[in-house]
């Protein structure tokens, strides 16, 4: 089901015992992080969403860890399991081309097309504008968290940042952290590879002194996820959200800038970014488990703050995995697998382990049909959007379960010849990567752990894997209870 807003999602979480209300006073400086970090790493039913209702220095409650498990992430997207979204996408990709030969299929296509394309719906009145402050907008009223001891300050960590490209007018929505500098300014941490940064550069190249921006905080969970999704440049995140939720996203025009934002958001920050102004931002305790280094970024000037009555501040904390952001990344892994398979049909499955923090490791299984195909897949993946940042790609044969990291490790440790099966290339890296001597680029490793063929230079015989016969397995299965081992 599609949640109409964050509050409906929270109510569902609470009804299923997946949200805990914390009434003890907590400090937004470090204390909320420590509590949330401990809970996010608990096992089973103790890892729940947290609603801090008594936050020092603020009237607003703070919601944390809402996406922090596979179950809650699936709930957020309105499915039983994350692969359900991928299965639906596969069905959409089967839609036939309309022609005289298949005109009878148009009738069956219409319902699927309606589900796939839900354009935003624009409204004049919205809950996110129940309270409007344009005279003296004040970030001090929002319990923005200082997450880690060496952070450069408080950071907004779940912001949906809306901008428009000055040349095309097309909307972009990205999730770029905001360091609070004072009551009316923040940093705007859009990486050089991101579309928000591209809009900023286009505005500067056009001689424009500023680019308008708006930030939504506390949207319905599908919208929050959509802002993190690695979509192609010209796909509107709000249309993508409409596909995921099977329902159009309601949008409303801001009060002081020419941008539309989600109508049911909890809080909206309106403002602009000067194209000539840069300011030191960071350090920030990041999802890599290390502090991202301080650097110069544009500055976001706030012209208005609007919000719902009694708003809820939706936030997250990132750090050493597993944490909440890992499950957002896993959703992307499953949802975008069909698109990877569309472009690389030999791919059977992928796994981006939580320890690889999204962009450091990708394990891929392929149906190998010709020599050096694993190398071909590595380079193809490095050429696809945000996959360019992956530091290590491990390729295994299609019968290997890539979700079983222990099995993958066994294959890698036993199958590779270090001289023959390692591929080192240079290219772009994530801005947050600290290991490369050069910022934003460096060396990447491909590991071919598939069975090496004679055509690939392996002249020796390749041994068979040890396997018991099916007949013996069945005989032992029949005797198992009698053995009394369990």
What pLDDT, on a 0 to 100 scale, did the predictor assign at position 114? 55
Distance CA 224, CA 240 (A): 12
The band of 111, judged by pLDDT with boundaries at 50, 70 and 90, is low
What is the pairing mode between strands 160-164 and 347-351? unpaired
Which residues are CB-contacts of 94 (< 8 A; sequence separation ≥ 6)? none
The band of 384, judged by pLDDT with boundaries at 50, 70 and 90, is confident
What pLDDT, on a 0 to 100 scale, did the predictor assign at position 139? 97
Average pLDDT over residues 12-16: 96
Q: Does 158 lie in the same domain as 215?
A: yes
Domain span holding position 122 = 6-94+104-314
* DSSP secondary structure, 3-29, as one string: -SSHHHHHHHHHHTT-EEEE-S-B-TB
Place of tokens 């053995």: 483
Q: Does 353 lie in the same domain as 279?
A: no
- Percent of the chain exceeding pLDDT 70 equals 95
Query: Is 354 domain-assigned?
Result: yes
Cβ(281)–Cβ(296) under 8 Å?
A: yes
Please say if 417 is a catalytic residue.
no
Between 358 and 277, the more confident residue is: 277
The band of 109, judged by pLDDT with boundaries at 50, 70 and 90, is very low
What pLDDT, on a 0 to 100 scale, did the predictor assign at position 59? 94
**CATH number of the domain within which 242 lies:** 2.30.110.10
Q: Does 401 lie in the same domain as 292?
A: no
Cβ(249)–Cβ(173) under 8 Å?
A: no
Closest CA to 290 of 151, 443, 194: 151
Average pLDDT over residues 232-254: 91
CA angle 240, 243, 249 (to 5 degrees): 75
Look up the pTM and report it. Answer: 0.88
- Least confident among 16-25, 115-124, 362-371, 413-422: 115-124
Catalytic residue among 37, 151, 220, 286: 286
Between 109 and 41, the more confident residue is: 41
Q: Does 301 lie in the same domain as 349?
A: no
Average pLDDT over residues 60-68: 97
Q: Does 271 lie in the same domain as 135?
A: yes
Average pLDDT over residues 73-91: 89
Helices (H), 41-123: 70-76, 83-93, 106-116
Q: Does 140 lie in the same domain as 236?
A: yes
């Amino acid at each position: 089901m599609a949640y109409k807003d964050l509050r409906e999602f929270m109510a569902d979480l609470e009804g299923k015992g997946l949200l805990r209300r914390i009434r003890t006073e907590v400090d937004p400086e470090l204390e909320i992080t420590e509590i949330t970090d401990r809970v996010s790493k608990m096992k089973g039913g103790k890892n729940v969403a947290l609603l801090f209702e008594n936050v020092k220095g603020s009237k607003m409650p703070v919601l944390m860890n809402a996406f922090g498990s596979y179950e809650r992430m699936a709930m957020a997207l309105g499915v039983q399991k994350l692969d359900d979204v991928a299965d639906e996408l596969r069905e959409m990709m089967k839609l036939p081309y309309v022609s005289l030969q298949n005109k009878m299929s148009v009738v069956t296509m219409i319902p699927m097309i309606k589900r796939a394309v839900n354009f935003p719906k624009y409204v004049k009145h919205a809950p996110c504008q129940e309270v409007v402050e344009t005279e003296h907008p004040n970030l001090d009223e929002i319990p923005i968290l200082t997450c880690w001891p060496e952070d450069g300050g408080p950071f907004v960590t779940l912001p949906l940042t809306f901008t428009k490209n000055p040349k095309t007018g097309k909307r972009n929505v990205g999730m770029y952290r905001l360091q609070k500098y004072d009551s009316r300014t923040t940093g705007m941490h859009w990486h050089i590879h991101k579309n928000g940064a591209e809009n900023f550069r286009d505005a500067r190249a056009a001689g424009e002194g500023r680019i308008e921006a708006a930030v939504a905080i506390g949207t319905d969970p599908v919208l929050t996820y959509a802002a993190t999704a690695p979509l192609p440049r010209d796909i509107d995140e709000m249309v993508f959200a409409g596909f995921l939720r099977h329902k159009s996203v309601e949008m409303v025009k801001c009060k002081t800038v020419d941008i539309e934002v989600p109508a049911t958001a909890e809080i909206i920050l309106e403002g602009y970014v000067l194209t000539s102004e840069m300011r030191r931002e960071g350090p920030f305790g990041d999802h890599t488990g290390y502090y991202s280094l301080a650097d110069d970024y544009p500055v976001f000037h706030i012209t208005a703050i609007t919000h719902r009555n009694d708003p809820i501040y939706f936030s997250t904390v990132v750090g050493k995995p597993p944490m909440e952001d890992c499950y957002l990344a896993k959703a992307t892994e499953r949802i975008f697998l069909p698109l990877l398979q569309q472009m690389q049909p030999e791919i059977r499955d992928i796994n981006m382990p939580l320890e690889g923090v999204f962009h450091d490791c990708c394990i891929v299984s392929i149906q190998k049909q010709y020599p050096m195909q694993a190398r071909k897949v590595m380079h193809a993946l490095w050429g696809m959007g945000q996959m360019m940042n992956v530091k290590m790609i491990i390729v295994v044969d299609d019968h290997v379960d890539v979700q079983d990291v222990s099995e993958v490790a066994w294959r890698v440790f036993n199958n590779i010849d270090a001289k023959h099966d390692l591929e080192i290339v240079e290219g772009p890296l994530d801005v947050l990567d600290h290991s490369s001597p050069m910022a934003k680029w460096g060396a990447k490793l491909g590991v071919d752990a598939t069975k090496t063929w004679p055509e690939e230079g392996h002249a020796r015989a390749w041994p068979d894997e040890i396997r018991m016969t099916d007949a013996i397995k069945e005989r032992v299965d029949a005797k198992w209870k009698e053995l009394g081992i369990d």
